[in-house]
Structure 1
Amino acid sequence: MNRFERMRGRLRRAYESGREAVRAGRARPPDVPEPARTASPSSPGPTAPPTATVVEGEPQESAHHSTASRDDADVPHALRIAAAWSWRLIVIGVVFWALMEVVSTISIVIIPLAVAMLLSALLAPAVGWLLRARLPRSLATAVVLVGGLAGVVGTLTLVVNEFIQGVPELSEKSSQGLRQIQDWLRTGPLHLSDNQLDRYLDEAQQWVNNNTERFTSGALSTATTLAEVLTGALLVLFATFFFLRDGSMIWRFLVRLLPVAARWKVDDAGRAAWSTLVAYVRATVLVAFIDAVGIGIFLVIFDVPFAFPLAALVFLGAFIPIVGATLSGGVAVLVALVDSGAVTALIILGAVIGVQQLEGNVLQPLIMGRAVAIHPLAVIIGLTAGVVLAGITGALVAVPLIAVLNTAIRRLSARSVPDTPPDAVVVAAQSP
C-alpha cells in the first residue's frame, strides 16, 4: 500500500510539474527561447546537459496574439479582418431588416406618430406663447390645435371651391390645346398624316382600355383604405395634443428608463434634436410660404387660372426638399401652357426656376443656418429611401429624420459633459 501511495505521489508531482511548464511556456514571449532544464525526481525525462550542443531544428510555429488557434494564424490578416467585418455587417443588416418589417407591420401607428411629431414641432412655439400669457396648458394646447385645424380646413375649402369653379373653362381650353397640338403635328417638322395620327390615337385608346381594370382596382384599394386614413387622422390629432401638452413629461419618463450613467447624455442629445426639428419645420414652412407667394404672383400677373390652388400646391410641395416645389411648379407651367400658350408657359417656367434658385442659394442657408444644414447628397438619398419605404409620407419624414439623427449623433459622440438636467437631484457631501 505504501508503494502504491508513493507511485501515486510521483505521478501527481509529474502532472503538476507538466502543468507549470505549460503555463510558463504560454506566459513567455514568442521570441524568448525556453531555457534548458535539468532532470529532477519531480520532472523525469531526458533533458539536454549544460555542455551539450543543440542542433537547430525547424522553428516551432506560434499563433498570432489576435487569433484563438494556430488554424486562424494560417489565414491572412486581411482576410480575417474582412470576415470580421462581414459577419458584423450581416448581423446589422438582419437587425435592420427585422426593424423595417416591424415598422411596415405597424405603419398605421408609426406614420401618424411621425406626422404628429412634425405638427408638434410646428405648433410648439405658439403653445409656448400662450403659456407665457398665463393660460392653462390644456387650454393653450386646445386653442392652438383647433386654430391650426381650422386654418387647414379653410384653406382646403378655398382651394377645392376655386378648382371646381374653374374646371369647365380649363376643360374647354384643354380641348383647344389638343387641337392646336394636332395641327402642329400635321404642319410642323414631323409632317404626320391623318392616318398616322388616327393610328396613334387608337393605340392610346387601346392602352387605356387595357389598363382600365388596373385603375379600377387601384381606386377600390384606395376606397378600402379609407378607414385606415380616418384612423390615422384621429391618431394624429390625439398624439399632437398630448405631445404638445405632455411632451416634456413623456421625454423625462423615457429618459428614466435608461441606465443612470447614460441619462444625461441622452437627455442632452434628445433636447438638441428636438430644437433642430423645431428649427427645421419652422424654416421649411417659411421657405414654402415664400415659394408659394413668389410663384403665385407670376400666376396672377399673367392671368393663369387656378392661381390660388396652384400656389397652395407649391406650398405643400415645398415640404419635400429639392424636388417638391419643382414638381408642383411644373404643374403650374402645364396649366399655363394649356391656357395661355407657350410664351406664358416659358415665363412661368423661368419664374419657377428663379424662385427655386433663390430658395436653394439664399433662403435655406439664411433661414435654416448651419445647425440644420444637410448635404444635398444625404437629402437625395433620404428622399429616395423614404419614397421606396413609405411613399409620399416617407418623403415628408425622411429629411427631418436625417436632421434629427445628425444632431443627436453629434451630441452623443461629443466629449463635453452636458448640463445638469432640470429634474436632477444633486446630493452634496457634508463637510467633516
Structure 2
Amino acid sequence: MKVRAPHEFHWEAICVFVATGFFLDTDTYFKDLMVLPPASINEIDEEGFFVKSTPWFHWHKTSRALAFEDALEEFTQLFETIIDEQVGDKKVILPLSGGLDSRTQATALHHLGKDVNAYSYDFKGGYPETAIGKQIAKTCDLTFTEHHIEKGYLWDCIEQLAAINQCYSEFTHPRQMAIFDEYEKMGDIFSLGHWGDVLFDTPTSKQLTEAEELEYLLKKIIKKGGMELANALWEQWNLPDTFEAYLRQRVSKLLQKIDIQDTGAKIRAFKSLYWAPRWTNTNLSVFEEQHPITLPYFDDRMCQFICTVPEKHLEDRMLQIAYIKKRNPKLAKITWEQHKPYNLYTFQQNTSPKNIPYRAVQKLKRETKKALGKPYVQRNWELQFVGMENDEKLQQYLFSENMHPFISKPLLARFYNNFKNIDPVHYSHPLSMLLTLSLKMKLLK
C-alpha cells in the first residue's frame, strides 16, 4: 500500500529485518510502502494512498470459568467445524511433520472422512521426519508421499522464490520450494497448520513486568548473529543513535498497545499481531502459487476461543494432545519429534536422566556418520551453504554488483569469512539475510 512519504530505502526497517528475519509491524523496504495490518478495515484516498486503519478484531484475555473437559469439547467441535467448512468436498493436500499441528489436522480430517493426499519431507542425511509422517498417514488411512530434500536445491529455484515472496523472508526456510512442481498434481486445496504451536501453548507461565516482557520478546525475536549484522549495517548507513535503542523503542511501543494483563496471553498476542503476519505468512505465497490455501488456526473463531479459554488449559499443548488421544489414540502413540523417542503418552519422561541413553546413542550415530564423511544434516542452511558447489553459488550472489554500494564489499567479506572460518552456526543467519538482500537488489534493478 502506498504511503505519502519519500520513495527511499527504510534503512532502520531493513536493520530490524536482518536482526529478526521479519519486518516489524507494517514496515517494508521503502518508506513510501507499507503492508496493511491484520484483521483491520483500511481507508485509502482517491489517489490510492493509505489514510487510516481500524482493527475489527482485538486480542484480549477474558477467561471463562471453563473446566478442561468442557474446553476440550468446545475445541473439538470448533476445530472440526472450521476444517469442514474450509475444505468442503475438495481433495486436501496436507503437509505432515513430526509435530502436533499437522497431526491435529490429520486427526480431524480422518474423523470427517475427507479425501486427503498427505506428504512429508526431510533432509537427505538428517533425521527421517518422513518416517513419522508416514506412520501418521497410515494410521489415518491417508494417501502419502515422502520427499527427501537434496543438498543445494535452493539454487535451482532461488530467483523464482524471490519473485514469489519479494524477498520478505530469508531463503533457507521455505523447504516447500524443493517440491514446488509436485503440488499441482497433489490435490485441490491446502490445509496448513501454521501458528497452532503459538496459539495452543503458553509462552511463559510467569507474570512479568513490562521491562521483563520486553527482554523476553527481544530474546525470542533476535536471531543468532542478527544483532551483529544489524549493528554493522546501522553504522555503515550512518543512522542516528544505535540500532539496539531503536529496536527496543519499536518493540516497547508495540507491546504497550496490547491491553492484556496476563503475560503469556500478551506475548501470544504480540506474536500473532506482529510476528505471524510478517514471518509465518510470507511464504504462504509459495503454496498459493499452486492451489488455494486454508488455515484452520487462523480462523477468527479459533482466535476468539483462545482469548476466552483459561490460560492454564493452553499450557504444554494440553488441548491438542487431549484431542488427538480422544479421537485417535493410535496417533497419540506415534513419536512426537520434539520429544523423540517419546510419544503423546510418554513425553513427560523426556527429562534427565531418563533421556540420557537415547541422547547418547543419537550422538554416537552422528559422530559415526561424520567420521565416515557423511555429516548429519540438522539445519536448512547446511543444505545450501556447505560444500564447494554451494559455496560457488553463494559467492556469485553475495558478491555480485547488485549489492554495491548498498552494502560494502568489506562488510560482506567479514560476515562470509566469519561463517566459513569462525562459527557457521552463529553466522548462518546473517549470511542468509545478506543473500536475501542480494536477491532483493537484483529484483529492483
Same fold (TM > 0.5): no
Instruction: State which structure, 1 or 2, has the greater radius of gyration over its C-alpha atoms.
Output: 1
The structure whose residues are more often helix, as a share, is: 1
Q: Which has the higher contact order (CA 8 A, sep 6+)?
A: 2
Give the TM-score category using the shorter length. Answer: under 0.3
TM-score by length of 1: 0.21
TM-score by length of 2: 0.21
